[in-house]
């Protein structure tokens, strides 16, 4: 089996004191970098390998990425958009009234996803839906809120 780790040009080395040293090899010379630089570099390398594997038909799973020690991309896919955040700031009182006019299930979804930071995947598992179904509901509710706020 192909071992990509032997051929990569970056390493994470655990020091005796429990800290880590991050090394990227540039033109045959090991250069010590910060954890942030290492993370971005390793993510870019993983993305490149992903594209190659997709073209070759040998995709890896997220679990495999974790096993390989590749940090997952950190994004907050569940945050409000800049437009929605601005709308809530500009129409604060109206937004609260609009929230109170929602159905109990809609309020629960918004509370957990937006205010409590629960992921769509976790919320979907909790209520027995798919993540995509929860995402669609969230979008509809946010659109409903937007209409209610702008109408009043």
16-45: pLDDT as tens digits: 999 999 988 888 888 888 988 888 888 888
pLDDT of amino acid 137 = 92
Task: Output the domain CATH number for residue 101.
Answer: 1.10.10.10
Across 12-16, 25-29, 88-92, 132-136, least confident range: 88-92
Parent domain of 132: 82-151
**pLDDT at 121 exceeding the cut of 70:** yes
Q: 92 vs 48, which has greater pLDDT?
A: 48
Across 12-21, 78-87, 137-146, least confident range: 78-87
Please state, in angstroms and rounded to a whole number, the distance separating the CA atoms of residues 64 and 121. Answer: 19
Half-sphere exposure of 56 (CA within 13 A, CB side): 9
Structural domain ending residue among the three candidates 67, 94, 120: 67
Domain membership of residue 146 (yes or no) is yes
- Tokens 């159905």 correspond to 103
Question: Is the CB of residue 149 less than 8 Å from the CB of residue 94?
Answer: yes
Domain membership of residue 8 (yes or no) is yes
Domain membership of residue 72 (yes or no) is no
Q: 131 vs 5, which has greater pLDDT?
A: 131
3-state secondary structure of 29: strand
Q: How many domains does the chain have?
A: 2
Domain membership of residue 29 (yes or no) is yes
Domain membership of residue 95 (yes or no) is yes
Same-domain status, 86 and 123: yes
pLDDT of amino acid 78 = 45
Q: How confident is the model at residue 76 (pLDDT cuts 50, 70, 90)?
A: very low
Same-domain status, 54 and 112: no
Please state, in angstroms and rounded to a whole number, the distance separating the CA atoms of residues 71 and 87. Answer: 34
Same-domain status, 62 and 86: no
Same-domain status, 14 and 49: yes
For residue 33 the two structure tokens come to: 């970098």
Same-domain status, 86 and 32: no
Q: 67 vs 43, which has greater pLDDT?
A: 43
Q: At what angle do helices 131-151 and 120-127 cross, to 10 degrees?
A: 100
Domain membership of residue 104 (yes or no) is yes
Residue 125's DSSP bridge partners are none
Please state, in angstroms and rounded to a whole number, the distance separating the CA atoms of residues 110 and 117. Answer: 10
- For the stretch 49-62, pLDDT in tens is 777 776 666 555 66
Same-domain status, 92 and 123: yes
Q: 95 vs 117, which has greater pLDDT?
A: 117
Domain membership of residue 137 (yes or no) is yes
């Amino acid at each position: 089996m192909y071992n990509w780790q032997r051929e990569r040009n970056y390493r994470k080395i655990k020091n005796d004191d429990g800290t880590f040293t991050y090394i990227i090899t540039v033109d045959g010379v090991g250069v010590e970098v910060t954890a942030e630089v290492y993370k971005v570099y390793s993510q870019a390398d993983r993305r490149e390998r992903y594209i190659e594997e997709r073209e070759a038909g040998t995709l890896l799973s997220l679990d495999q990425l974790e096993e390989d020690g590749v940090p997952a991309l950190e994004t907050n896919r569940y945050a409000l958009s800049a437009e929605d955040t601005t709308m809530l700031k500009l129409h604060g009182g109206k937004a609260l009234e609009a929230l109170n006019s929602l159905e109990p299930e809609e309020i629960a979804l918004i509370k957990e996803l937006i205010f409590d930071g629960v992921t769509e995947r976790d919320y979907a598992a909790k209520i027995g839906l798919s993540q995509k179904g929860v995402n669609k509901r969230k979008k509809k509710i946010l659109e409903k809120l937007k209409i209610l706020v702008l109408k009043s």
